[in-house]
Every structure is written in structure tokens, then in C-alpha cells.
Amino acid sequence: MWYPQVNNEFAVRGADYAPFRLTINGVTAISSGIEKSAGGNSAFDQSANARPFFVSGTWDRVDGTANATGISAYLPKGLGPDERKQAESLIALASGARSFYSTLFGVAPDIPVRLISVTRGAGFDDAGAILLGEGSFRRKSIDSSTAMIIAEAIGRLWIGADTPVRGEGNGVLRDGLTRFVATLFIEKQFGADAAEAERARERVAYSAIAKRDAPLSRTTGLDPTYLNSVANKGAMVWRLADHLVGRDVFIATMKTLLTAGKTDPAGLTLAAARAAFGGREGSSLKALLDQQLDQPTDIDLMAGLPVQEAGQWTAALRNLGSMEVVVDVAAVTSSGQRVMTQATVPPHDFAQATFKNATNIVSVEIDPQKLYPQLDYANDIAPRVPVVATSLAEANRLYGAQEYAKAEALARQLLAASPRLQEARIVLGRALLAENKNEEAEKEFKQLLNEQLPLPASLAWSSFGLGEIALRRGQADEASRKFTDAIRADAEYASTLAARAERVRAESAAPVIDEAAKNFVNQLDAAIRGGRHAEIETMIVPGELGRFMQQVVGTQPEAWASRVLRTEQLDADRVAVDVALNTKQLGVEHSGTAVFILVRTGGALKLDAIELFEVR
């Protein structure tokens, strides 16, 4: 980052972005911009608006060709053909995003794009440098999280890098607008269902903080709701504006703003965007943007039960917000037919939706496209359906309490209301597996794997479930492969922990153990039992695991014994070691499992990280 830094990301007007030249002496490093490295030093010239940063390490580079020229992936050294194939898929995805945005905003900026595998900082991007977790390259297919990170980062080549984004409320453009256009790309690349799933996740995330959110135009990075608010509500506001003015007008206006912002000392500002869109549609759009950007969210739309009166069906509507809304209202008949009408609901008032020539309406939903940011989406439909966020939490609670039949029933209710809700299908598959309904569970897990754009958790839990089913059928080798897929998905702690434990069980007849790693663990055990700080310190990568070292030295264990269960070569220099631990500290015995990450540096192994530690 800049030093000294006049404005950081917590400033009202946002952080400082500008061209830079960065040189890192004696270190292999990657940053954004054009690489000018030479003589053992890493150097980068960045002509776009960016912030100076770098990551250090060693990588294998995969370069894009043809339409993907200028896009590269940086993988940990020594990874195999599967990871390189996945890297090529991600390069193609980034290329597709770049081409898509070119059709919207004009010729792509001449900025190199780098997809960089990191162990820390995944999700950060700046002017073409995109940090991705190792799991993004190890998974069997492109997942929704990685796709959105790349899509948003490529969008910021135009919105932020080529045209600077400055001024109060800059996050609504830098994060909210890019999320909106990224979802447009997801829709084009993976289909409408995948895009709607992303929007649904935006709504679920935003609804958790909607009642304590600050106005978008005045929120800053110091507000605890900032990242959730500017990205998710911001994307909703731009989608609403796009709906009201029309896609062609919206894109033309944004293109004009981006062009003007390149030469304007003030750059692209939220004030300029509001003025441009307000001028397009007059006072109605201006009033909407004023309310959505300058006021906290207060809209809450409600639908009443359908009733039949005088030969036609009607439903009461209510708007608890402070602005008038014009919305579609959808009804579903007993035969499954969908009927649409439109209604205007005044602020703090009631209205009525009328469905002519419809028979036997059984449910009504206001704003089925979910265009308006709301405080509560649960009362949009009558009769009510399970609320996604609270029902998912309850389904997971029931599963954790081993009430598997109830968890299954609730997951099925959620899927009946939202058939593409992957989170509910994960719970359903796991509940069926716990109930020993192997064939039904297998069907759900395979459906998750076949999703066009699966969640990382979908890849992890479906692979775990299929591995467990294979193990029950006596197919140990197949089970081991599936558990490995679940671990490589790197989705969440619980799935990784469970998959590692089951893989050890599947391979119990012939575990894979690297003797050098086993010897190192034995030496580490002896050093920890000895309690000598200087000896332990030489076995740990400098700067890492400081707290662990303090604990084992400060409260020297009376006993510390590790049994190596399995080892796995992660890349050319790193080894993961699954161990069973038995310790005794302050007279209390502990046991459990852990995963040590060893790295070869200077010709010797050192402890670099402890990925899992379940010793109780």
C-alpha cells in the first residue's frame, strides 16, 4: 500500500488509486501491471489506477492464448495436469468475462490479468491481479465463488482501474456496480438459474443486516455492515435502475460516464452517476435513487391471501416503505399456471392486485423478480413458504442434533419452494446418508455435482457423501478418491475435517506415508517435549505459528506423541501430514487429530502451518 498513505480504504472518499512502479529486491513476487523483473529483482509498471501490493512465492505459470492472450494463471510449483487443466478453464472464464464487458463498455483496457494461487488473502483483487485460494485450482469444476471473484475483478478493469472511481459513496460503484454486471456475465455464461442463485444469495446476505444498515451514499469501511451493504444492496439498486431505464439506456449511460471519468480529475463519482441517470428518466428515477442511496432501507412489501370476489381473484398488497413502488404480482393456480399482473402500491399504504380470467388461485407473490431491496422478504408470498436463512439454520441445527428425519423433512420443504437451493440439497443429502438411505442420498449428491455452477460446499459435501457410500459398499479405493476430491474442494472446515478422517479410514490397510515427513514429526515431538524455544524455533518457518510456539513452550507438555496416519504431497515443496496426537499439559490428557503442513526450505523440512487441530 502507499506509504505514506493520505487516504486508505476507511476514508469517506475511499482509498488512493494511481499508477505506480514497484520493485521488490531479491524476492520472487507478483503484483499488478506489466512485469519488468530482472537480475533477481521483481519489478512491475502499472499505468492504470491501482494500489501497490505484492505477494511472494514460487509458481508455475500457465499463459492464455488466442482470445485469452494477456491472461495468466500462477499455480504452486509441481502441481499436476488436473490443476493445469482447471487453470486453463479459469483463464477461459476470465477471457469470456473480458469479452463480455467489452461488448458493454468498449475495448478492454490493456492491463495484464493474473490469477494467482495463494494460501492467504484469497478474494482480493486490484487492477488485474486476482488472488484465488488453492482450492479454486484443485476443484473438479469451476465453482460459484471463484466465478464471481473473477467476474467482479474483470469488471473492475473498467470500473476503477481504467476509469478511476472516487468520491463519497465510491463503493456503490466499485463493488455494487461490478457485482451487478458480474451477475449479468454469470447469466450469459452459466444461464439464468445460476444468476438467480447468485441474486438469492445477495438477498439472504443483505437481509441479515438490512435493519441496521447505513445509507449507501454515506457508509464507509469503518461501518461493520459496509462490505455486505455496498456490494449486495448496491447491486440491487443498479439492477433496479437497469430495469426502470432499460438495458440499452443503462449501458449507454454507463459507457458515457466511464469515458468522461477517464479525463475528469474527479474520476467517476456516485454523484455523476446519479445525475446522469436522474436526467434520463426525470423526477421518478431521481426520487428512487435518492431514497435508495441516501436513506436506510425501509421498504417491506407484503402480499395477502388470494380471495375470489365477483368472479375474479384479488389479493391485498401492502407497502411499509416511504416510497411508492410499481411492481409485478404473480399468482399460481391449482393447476400450476402462473398468472401475472401489475400494481402500484403507495408509501405506507395498501393496494390490491386483480387477476382476471384466472381460476382457483392458490398463492400470490409481490415483486417476484425481487427488484426492490427490502427489510424482509418472507412476507412477499402468501401463503408463506419457509424463510431460506432461518430454515437453513434450523435444518442444520436439526442435523447437528441428530434429528435426521426432521432435517430431511425441512430440507425437502425448502427445495419445494426453491428447487435450485444448493444449500438445502446439501442438508438433504447428508440427512439421507445419516438415515442409511444410500440410493436416495447418492441421487442428491450426484445432482449437486451436476450443477452448472456449484458452490464449493456442494462439491465438498457431495464428494464426501459419494465417498461414504462407496466405503459402505466396500469400494475403498473409490471412497479414497472421493474423499480426496472433498478435501481438494477446500470448502469449509467441517467438510474438510470429515473427509480427512474418512480417507484415513478408507486407506487404513495401506496408508501412504513419506518417511522424511514422518522423521520430521518425530523430531518435532522430541523438541516440544524438551520445551527448548531455540530448538523448536529452528523447526518452524520464521514468522509462522508464533502463538503455537508460545503455548508449547509456556506450558511445556508433560507428554506429546504424534502418530503419522497419512501424508500427501501438495506441491513441489509442501507436504500435508495427518497425525493422531496424544498430549498431557498441566496434568490434563488430550487426544485427537491434526494436519501439519510441512514445507521444504533450504533443503530441510519445516513446519509451515497447522491446518486442522482437533485435540480435546
Asked if pLDDT for residue 147 goes beyond 70, the answer is: yes
Query: Does residue 54 sit in helix, strand or coil?
Result: coil
Q: Global pTM?
A: 0.93
Domain 515-615 falls under CATH 3.40.30.10 = no
**Cell digits for 410?**
425441512
Q: How many CB atoms lie within 10 A of CB 318?
A: 17
pLDDT at residue 282, as a whole number: 62
pLDDT at residue 33, as a whole number: 94
- Cα–Cα distance, 579 to 516 (Å, whole number): 14
Cis bond before residue 383 (omega within 30° of 0): yes
How would residue 3 be classed by pLDDT, with cut points 50, 70 and 90?
low
pLDDT at residue 193, as a whole number: 92
Instruction: Provide mean pLDDT across the span 75-93.
Output: 93
Asked if pLDDT for residue 357 goes beyond 80, the answer is: no
pLDDT at residue 283, as a whole number: 67
**Cell digits for 27?**
524476492
- Fold for domain 170-294? Neutral Protease; domain 2 (1.10.390)
CA distances from 259 to 76, 110, 254, 456 (A): 38, 15, 9, 37
pLDDT at residue 286, as a whole number: 87
pLDDT at residue 281, as a whole number: 63
462 exposure class (CB count in 10 Å sphere: 0-12, 13-18, 19+):
buried
Contacts of 61 (CB under 8 A, 6+ apart): 72, 73, 74, 75
The percent of residues in the chain predicted with pLDDT above 70, rounded, is 99
CA 85 to chain centre: 22
Please report how many Cα atoms fall inside a 13 Å half-sphere around the Cα of residue 480, on the Cβ side. Answer: 14
Asked if pLDDT for residue 79 goes beyond 90, the answer is: no
Instruction: Provide mean pLDDT across the span 238-256.
Output: 93
**CATH class assigned to 301-382:** mainly beta
Average pLDDT along the chain: 92
CA distances from 106 to 152, 166, 235, 254, 505 (A): 17, 21, 21, 11, 55
Q: What is the pLDDT of residues 162-202, one digit of tens each?
A: 999 999 999 999 999 999 999 999 999 999 999 999 999 99
DSSP assigned state of 345: E
* Start-to-end C-alpha separation, the chain: 41
- Cα–Cα distance, 166 to 261 (Å, whole number): 10
Asked if pLDDT for residue 516 goes beyond 80, the answer is: yes
Q: What is the pLDDT of residues 195-240, one digit of tens each?
A: 999 999 999 899 989 999 889 998 888 889 998 999 999 999 999 9
Instruction: Provide mean pLDDT across the span 408-434.
Output: 92
| Residue from 35, 10, 40 nearest 25 by CA | 40
Q: What is the pLDDT of residues 588-605, one digit of tens each?
A: 999 999 999 999 988 899
| Residue from 440, 437, 432 nearest 411 by CA | 432
* Domain locations along the chain: 18-158, 170-294, 301-382, 455-510, 515-615
Asked if pLDDT for residue 5 goes beyond 80, the answer is: no
pLDDT at residue 258, as a whole number: 95
- Cα–Cα distance, 190 to 112 (Å, whole number): 25
Q: What is the pLDDT of residues 470-507, one digit of tens each?
A: 999 999 999 999 999 999 999 999 999 999 999 999 99
Q: What is the pLDDT of residues 266-302, one digit of tens each?
A: 999 999 999 998 876 666 788 889 999 999 999 999 9
- Give me the amino acid identity at 273: A
Q: Among all chains, which residue has been given the C-alpha cell 492491463?
A: 111
Query: Does residue 63 sit in helix, strand or coil?
Result: strand
